[in-house]
């Protein structure tokens, strides 16, 4: 299953509207015979890719899949049919398919005499490669990660408003890797006017990544037509609102949204309960001063503090990356 999760991670961001799924086929001796991840929409699902690679070795073997195999005729045939045609004896999956149209795969496999087990590394999958897709299935909204860089005292800019660069090159490269698989990056007009960011996904050599997220500017002020964010390296949407929900409605066809705005927009999203994950890059730096990473989050007293839970802590170069999810 860890191998299957690796396959899913590798195709994340390329499978919309399908979920990024990974699959591994073991032959009847338990040896890996084929691996695969979901291909772009209209092309093969993970199971089919792995089965093709396994060929005749799939017969009598085991399919290990991050999501319950689909039982649904979409642009491609049901994965359950492909597994049955290949003659696999057992299917192991992590997470059940919450989509009623595609669900029922496990039952059909069981009815056909295949040994089915579920829930294997389910938390690693539902908190990992499938996190954003599952959130969208559950809520109908894209999943929002608020990402910020700050000094150890929680300042996201120096007193004069300059913030490039608080964190080091390794942290920035990490952010660019995340952008390259995200569907949209959202900032407020304040960030555009003060930093003039480009908000593209770049490789470490400075060239553009193959896939660029939609850039989104939120706010009522005009931004200059010369702004970097309006260059032709990616598409840009300007949304003249202060309502975070309206922003997400405009992005309702997306799954993975990164909020990279300044303290004003971040506060508005948190107050609206629309931040699903926090990624904080903290530098071993002190800035002090008035510009905090986030403005008012609607907490008048400590008993009403918004509680989160760390779900990942890593060092990235000289900085620390904290990942938090709602508690
Ligand atoms: N370190 C970091 O990770 C990081 C990231 C981004 C920015 N920054 C720093 O943050 C500073 C800019 O802060 P900022 O707060 O101005 O940036 P911002 O949050 O990106 O933009 C704020 C603007 O967004 C609009 N807006 C959208 N929704 C709103 C709402 N619900 N309530 C109020 N306004 C809303 C308003 O513009 P209109 O008046 O146009 O409507 C507001 O002035 C800069 O110093 C920048 O360097 C740091």
229 Cα–ligand 1 center, Å: 15
Q: What pLDDT was estimated at residue 99?
A: 84
CA angle at 145 for the pair 162 and 10, rounded to the nearest 5°: 110
Q: Whose CA is nearest to atom 8 of ligand 1?
A: 262
**Of 49, 44, 43, nearest in space to 24 by CA:** 49
122-127: average pLDDT? 96
- Per DSSP, what are the bridge partners of residue 279? 147, 323
The pLDDT, as a whole number, for residue 324 is 98
- Reading the block at residue 87, the tokens are 């003659």
Distance 191 CA to ligand 1 centre (A): 5
Can you tell me the mean pLDDT for 31-48? 96
Report the predicted TM-score, pTM, of the whole model to 2 decimal places: 0.93
Confidence of residue 261 (pLDDT cuts 50, 70, 90): confident
Query: Binding residue per annotation — 266?
Result: yes
- Ligand 1, pocket residues at CB < 6 Å: 148-150, 156-157, 161, 163, 166, 187-191, 194-195, 218-221, 242, 260-265, 268, 291
**Residues 27 and 33: beta-carbon distance below 8 Å:** yes
Burial class of residue 158 (count of CB atoms within 10 Å of its CB; 0-12, 13-18, 19+): middle
Which CATH superfamily is 142-326 part of? Dihydrofolate Reductase, subunit A (3.40.430.10)
Tell me the CA–centroid distance for residue 173 and ligand 1, in Å.
23
The pLDDT of residue 231 is 97
Please list the residue range(s) of the chain that carry CATH number 3.40.140.10: 1-131
Range list for CATH 3.40.430.10 in the chain = 142-326
pLDDT digits (tens, 9 = 90+) for 154-189: 999 999 988 888 999 999 999 999 999 999 999 999
Yes or no: domain 1-131 corresponds to CATH 3.40.50.720: no
**Nearest-angstrom CA–CA distance, 64 and 230:** 44
Residue 116, pLDDT score: 98
Average the pLDDT over 37-48 and give the result.
95
Terminus-to-terminus CA distance in the chain, angstroms? 27
Q: Which of 31, 43, 47, 222 is catalytic?
A: 47
Atom of ligand 1 nearest to the CA of 148: 3
Percent of the chain with pLDDT over 90: 91
Least confident of 44-58, 153-167, 222-236: 153-167
Is 247's pLDDT higher than 80?
A: yes
Q: Residue 199, annotated ligand binder? A: yes
Ligand 1 atom 35: the closest Cα is on which residue?
242
Hey, whose CA ends up nearest to atom 47 of ligand 1?
163
For this structure, is 43 an active site residue? Answer: no
**302: its two tokens:** 């400590």
**Mean pLDDT, the chain, integer:** 95
Nearest to 90 by CA among 63, 55, 59: 63
Report pLDDT for 68. 97
Does the annotation place 222 within a ligand binding site? no
Answer whether residue 102 shows pLDDT above 80: no
């Amino acid at each position: 299953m860890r191998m299957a999760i690796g396959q899913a991670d590798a195709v994340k961001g390329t499978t919309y509207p399908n979920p990024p799924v990974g699959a591994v086929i073991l032959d009847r001796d338990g040896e890996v015979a084929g691996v695969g991840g979901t291909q772009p929409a209209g092309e093969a699902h993970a199971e089919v890719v792995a089965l093709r690679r396994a060929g005749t070795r799939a017969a009598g073997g085991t399919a290990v899949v991050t999501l319950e195999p689909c039982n649904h005729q979409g642009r491609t045939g049901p994965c359950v049919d492909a597994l049955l045609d290949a003659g696999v004896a057992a299917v192991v999956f992590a997470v059940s398919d919450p989509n009623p149209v595609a669900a029922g795969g496990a039952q059909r496999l069981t009815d056909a005499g295949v040994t089915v087990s579920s829930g294997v590394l389910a938390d690693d999958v539902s908190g990992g490669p499938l996190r954003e897709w599952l959130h969208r299935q559950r809520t109908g909204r894209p999943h929002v990660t608020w990402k910020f860089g700050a000094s150890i005292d929680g300042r996201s800019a120096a007193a004069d408003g300059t913030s490039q660069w608080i964190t080091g090159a390794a942290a920035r490269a990490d952010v660019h890797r995340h952008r390259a698989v995200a569907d949209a990056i959202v900032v407020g007009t304040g960030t555009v006017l003060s930093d003039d960011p480009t908000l593209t996904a770049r490789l470490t050599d400075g060239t553009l990544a193959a896939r660029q997220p939609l850039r989104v500017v939120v706010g009522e002020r005009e931004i200059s037509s010369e702004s970097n964010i309006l260059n032709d390296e990616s598409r840009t949407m300007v949304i003249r609102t202060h309502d975070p929900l309206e922003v997400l409605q405009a992005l309702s066809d997306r799954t993975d949204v990164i909020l990279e705005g300044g303290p004003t927009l971040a506060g508005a999203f948190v107050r609206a309960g629309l931040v699903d994950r926090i990624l904080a890059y903290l530098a071993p730096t002190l800035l002090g001063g008035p510009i905090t990473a986030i403005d008012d989050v609607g907490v008048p007293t400590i008993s009403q503090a918004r509680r989160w839970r760390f779900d990942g802590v890593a060092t990235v170069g000289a900085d620390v990356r904290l990942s938090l999810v709602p508690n």
